[in-house]
Amino acid sequence: GAVPVVTALYGAGCRDFFVAHAEEGAEIRACAPDANIYVLDGFYEGCTELYIAHSLTPCLGSFAEIADYQALARSQEKPLPAMLNFNIRMNRLGLNKIETKELLDNHATMLAGIDVKGIMNHFSCADTPDHPITETQFKVFSDIARNFDAVFPALIKSLCNSSGLFRSPDYHFDLVRPGMALYGLNPTPEQDNPMHPVVRLEAPIIRTRIVYQGASIGYDATYKFKNDTLIATVAAGYADGLPWSLSNQGAFYWKGYRCLIRGRVSMDMSSIDLSAVPENDRPQVGDFIEVIGDHQNPAMIAKDAGALDYEILTSLGKRYDRRYLSA
């Protein structure tokens, strides 16, 4: 949903977007014509044309990337914009301590031709309150920022993901990068969600039936009924991004009643138990059941599935009919 989401954020005044890959930057350029679009993965082979054609700004995190990007700037005969990304305790992307010192000592040559827009780092543990790594990342990043300020004037500094944003105003610097919070997930999982939910998912019932006492259901007959039970077959399965690990674990909701998933989640379907629903409130074939909504958020599904709440949203299948509502 990058295009409608970026369009809405752009309409709300956002002029800085971070994407993982250059292809994603290219996809959203038309919805955010004069915005800064930063590519978190950095500058990598095969995407040079996308960077130029769509004016993307890489977040450079290694000497090799910096050198390659410098070469591109030379070939374009103009300075090209970049963020510099530092590695502090995350050990995923970014320049390490020794590289950072070397870059500072030799910035005149190593960064020649690169229009350094800013510096960045990423919190790894900010979803846990008072995690010691969070404070370390803040302090080390602050030191790097001071060192770079001595050399480059007016650098943008960016440190916060969704969780960091809610931990301390000290962490905000010039530019924050909320991700999951924009999609209504809870950046402070130890307390109530400060964000409104923004994603709803409903799936239709395509068959109901009584399954009799002693019978089983679904692949490998993993659930056996202790009583005659009203079951609904719902047209959403793991090919739609509902984890197979929800088999005999998760639930969907009808009018607030928790309807347990019975048996294995199939590729295109799931079976739910309507026992909890009073007889005069029961859904019919064609009715849509709540998968994500007022009674079940992605974190609850993730807990049942042994998954991550972010993952529940990034896995939402492409067969769903998506509707974007205005605020």
Q: Which amino acid is at 34?
A: D
Q: Which is nearer to a copy of itself, 131 or 172 (CB)?
A: 131
Radius of gyration of the chain (CA): 24
By C-beta, is 125 or 195 nearer to a copy of itself?
125
In the complex, what is the shortest distance from the CB of residue 48 to a copy of itself, in angstroms, rounded to a whole number?
Answer: 13
Distance, CA of 68 to CA of 113 (rounded, Å): 11
Which one, 151 or 285, has the nearer CB to a copy of itself?
A: 285
Residue 219 Cβ, how far from a copy of itself at the closest point, in Å? 5
| Minimal distance, residue 256 CB to a copy of itself, in Å | 24
Q: Helix H segments across the chain?
A: 2-11, 22-28, 48-53, 63-76, 97-105, 107-110, 132-149, 162-167, 298-305, 309-314
- Nearer residue to a copy of itself within complex by CB, 19 or 119: 19
In the complex, the residues that contact a copy of itself under the rule CB under 8 A are 20-21, 23-24, 40-42, 44-45, 61-62, 64, 87, 89-93, 96, 124-125, 127-128, 131, 133, 179, 204, 206-207, 209, 211, 215-221, 231, 233, 235, 238-239, 241, 243-245, 263, 266-269, 271, 285-286, 306-308, 310-311, 314-315, 318-319
Of 10 and 44, which has the nearer Cβ to a copy of itself?
44
Q: Which residues contact 15 (CB under 8 A, 6 or more apart)?
A: 32, 34, 35, 36
Instruction: Output the six-digit token pair for 289.
Output: 């059941």
Output the six-digit token pair for 234: 């719902």
Minimum CB–partner distance for residue 79 and a copy of itself (Å):
24
Smallest distance from a copy of itself to CB 327, Å: 25
Of 96 and 193, the one with the shorter C-beta distance to a copy of itself is 96
Q: Which is nearer to a copy of itself, 174 or 311 (CB)?
A: 311
Give which of 274, 225, 218 is closest to 246, Cα–Cα: 218
Closest approach, Cβ 247 to a copy of itself, in A, equals 9
DSSP 194: S
Q: How far is the CB of 117 from a copy of itself (least distance, A)?
A: 21
CB of 233 to a copy of itself, least distance (A): 5
Instruction: State in angstroms the smallest separation of the CB of 100 from a copy of itself.
Output: 13
DSSP secondary structure letters along 73-126: HHHHTS-EEEEEEB-SS--SSSB-HHHHHHHHHTHHHHTTTEEEEEEE---SST
* Block residue for tokens 């301590």: 97
Of the pair 10, 288, the CB lying nearest a copy of itself is at 288
By CB atoms closer than 10 A (0-12, 13-18, 19+), residue 321 is exposed
**b/e per residue, 106-122, with b = 16+ CB within 10 A?**
eeeebbebbebbbbbbb
Contact indicator for 241, 291 with CB cutoff of 8 Å: no
Do β-strands 257-260 and 114-120 pair in parallel, antiparallel, or remain unpaired? unpaired
Q: Which of 65, 82, 227 is nearest to 148 (CA)?
A: 82
Q: Which is nearer to a copy of itself, 91 or 326 (CB)?
A: 91
